[in-house]
């Protein structure tokens, strides 16, 4: 008794990706393996660094923000804004300064290219 192995690939799915298809003898002479080579581009896991907020010295961070914003008289500029567009530009500058301090002050994770995200529902 023998079993026939069939491989199906419709014209709209895998068939256009088949580069080579062949059969070879397997572990016994009664079995032939079907070997199919596909032209697939695999996406790589590109690790993304995360900011480690729980390790941040928030008192030191506050001092750095105060020092950086102290160099810039932004409160006076807020008082002198006359249009929503000026206020938006000022807000962008403020966020840029705070983000710069944040990126320079908060340590970043060093993920491996083999790491996977995980979380719990708790």
In whole angstroms, give the CA distance from residue 14 to residue 39: 9
6-11 own/partner pairs: CB under 8 Å, 24+ apart: 7/34, 7/36
In whole angstroms, give the CA distance from residue 46 to residue 50: 13
> What's the start-to-end Cα distance of the chain, in Å?
53
| Segment 10-51, tens digit of pLDDT | 667 777 888 888 887 766 666 777 788 888 876 676 778 888
pLDDT at 122: 47
- Cα-Cα-Cα-Cα dihedral sign, residues 74, 80, 84, 85: negative
pLDDT at 2: 60
pLDDT over 50 (residue 75): yes
Which has the higher per-residue pLDDT, 122 or 85? 85
**What contacts 81, CB < 8 A, 6 or more positions away?**
87, 90
In whole angstroms, give the CA distance from residue 50 to residue 63: 23
Percent of the chain with pLDDT over 90: 10
């Amino acid at each position: 008794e023998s079993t026939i192995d069939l491989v199906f690939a419709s014209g709209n799915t895998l068939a256009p990706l088949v580069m080579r298809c062949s059969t070879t003898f397997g572990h016994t002479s009664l079995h032939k393996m079907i070997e199919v080579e596909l032209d697939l581009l695999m996406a790589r896991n590109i690790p993304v660094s995360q900011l480690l907020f729980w390790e941040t010295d928030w008192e030191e961070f506050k001092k750095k923000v105060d020092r950086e914003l102290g160099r810039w008289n932004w409160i006076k500029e807020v008082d002198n804004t006359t249009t929503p567009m000026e206020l938006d530009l000022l807000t962008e500058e403020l966020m840029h300064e705070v983000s710069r301090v944040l990126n320079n002050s908060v340590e970043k994770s060093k993920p491996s290219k083999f790491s996977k995200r995980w979380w719990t529902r708790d």
